[in-house]
Amino acid sequence: MTTSTTAGKLDYLVDQVQELKDQGLFTTIRTLDSAQGAWLEIEGRRVLNFCSNNYLGFANDPELVQAAKAAMDRYGVGPGAVRTIAGTVRIHTELERRLAEFKGVDDTIVLQSGFTANSGAIPALVGKGDAIISDALNHASIIDGVRLAGKADRYVYDHVDMASLEAQLEVASTKGYRAMLIITDGVFSMDGDIAPLDEIAALADRYGAITMVDDAHGEGVIGRGGRGAVDHFGLHGVFDIEVGTMSKAFGVMGGYVAAKQPIVDWLRQRARPFLFSSALTIPDTAACLQAVDILERSTERVDRLWDNARYFQGRMRELGFDLGVTMTPISPVILGDEKVAQAFSKRLFEEGVFGTAIAFPTVPLGKARIRVMISAAHAREDLDFGIERFERVGRELGVIG
């Protein structure tokens, strides 16, 4: 009886899941039985990994693993508390110092993830009497951060459209706000295009707005030695706030805000995930420190990532695949129809390539794709294998001629 009552209460969820399945929008989650790397073991198969964010191959790097082990021997595993009570360990402050040096900013604050960095920083920085002006395709964690800053007025500008941004700034500037905050992704994760931070900074300067960039996919990828989007445009000291994540190129987990001193000082007092959620774990923190070390030592991995990306994208375009407007190693193979994307991904998997289909709501309806994430961990033969399989499945499904 209890079961049937519960089932009745949850019928709407059962129906929603069925609807997703009918529309080809239900995501099948695959489970890995190996460490991250160019190749993965999944469901008893060895498959080429074309879809993780492990840009530089750090996720299973022996130096990072060793650093995590050594830190656990000294400090244990868990932080035991939030940062502001008893959870700040020496390696947290060391990581904040090293990241600030790496990014060329006054200071950084480290949080548990890129998601909490965005969703924590935005409502701490702006509220009632302020305005947020956000790119239409910004990441979900920015959108949630904007929602949490519920009392601030919101303006959305068309994706990377500077005329649209200026129009929004013009309207906002007549309202007498205390602060106006422009927020953009640095590299847009689904298309791989780069926001024109130089033009955004110029407009912000004209209208007196604060600038914030989420550099999740720029960190470790663009800029000198992977120093990110602000470095890529030479805007040190001009762009006010950089949000970073250490879950992608850094190969670990964790987020941070790199900014001018008053901003970081305030976030240490008021960013809710910093105050109300426990600190980044010991092994994560130590592994992130090691990643900074390696990035400061050499550009070799970043260079290899770009060589691989240029090779892969060049050959895929020659074959006739549509890779959209990417300017980075993110390589979206745009297929359009959601069901075609799912069928493509399934056939690739059977052929030994792991490339997840990405569909609505992550990308707009009718823009489904396999987003290939190129990594420095890929050898040339790995890329050749993947390209050959894409060609085979692409012809079979009539995507290319």
For ligand PLP, the binding residues (CB under 6 A) are 113-115, 118, 139, 141, 185, 189, 214, 216-217, 245, 247, 255
**How crowded is the C-beta side of 262, counted as CA atoms within 13 Å?**
3
Closest to ligand PLP by CB, 89 or 187: 187
Smaller CB separation from ligand PLP, 281 or 389? 281
Residue 232: C-alpha distances to residues 94, 137, 284 (Å): 25, 21, 27
Cβ nearer to ligand PLP, comparing 83 with 217: 217
User: CA dist 390 to 140, 354, 369, Å?
Assistant: 29, 11, 13
What are the structure tokens assigned to 6, written together? 């519960």
At 151, which amino acid appears?
K
With respect to ligand PLP, which residue has the nearer C-beta, 233 or 250?
Answer: 250
φ/ψ (deg, to 5) at 207: -105, 5
Answer for the pair 331, 371: CB distance below 8 angstroms, yes or no.
yes
Nearest residue to ligand PLP, by Cβ distance, number only: 114
**Minimum distance from CB of 257 to ligand PLP (Å)?**
12
CB of 108 to ligand PLP, least distance (A): 14
- Contact of 67 with 287, CB cutoff 8 Å: yes
DSSP code per residue over 311-373: HHHHHHHHTT---TT--SSEEEEEEESHHHHHHHHHHHHHTTEE--EE-TTTS-TT-EEEEEE
Q: How far is the CB of 15 from ligand PLP (least distance, A)?
A: 28
| Cβ closest to ligand PLP, residue 184 vs residue 382 | 184
* Closest approach of ligand PLP to the CB of residue 243, in Å: 7
| Residues acting as catalytic residues | 189, 217, 248
Look up tokens 């792991």; give the residue: 354
Task: Report whether the peptide linkage leading into residue 361 is cis, meaning its omega lies within 30 degrees of zero.
Answer: yes
Overall size of the chain counted in residues: 401
Lookup: tokens for 72: 């656990």
**Residue 114 beta carbon to ligand PLP: minimum distance, rounded to whole angstroms:** 3
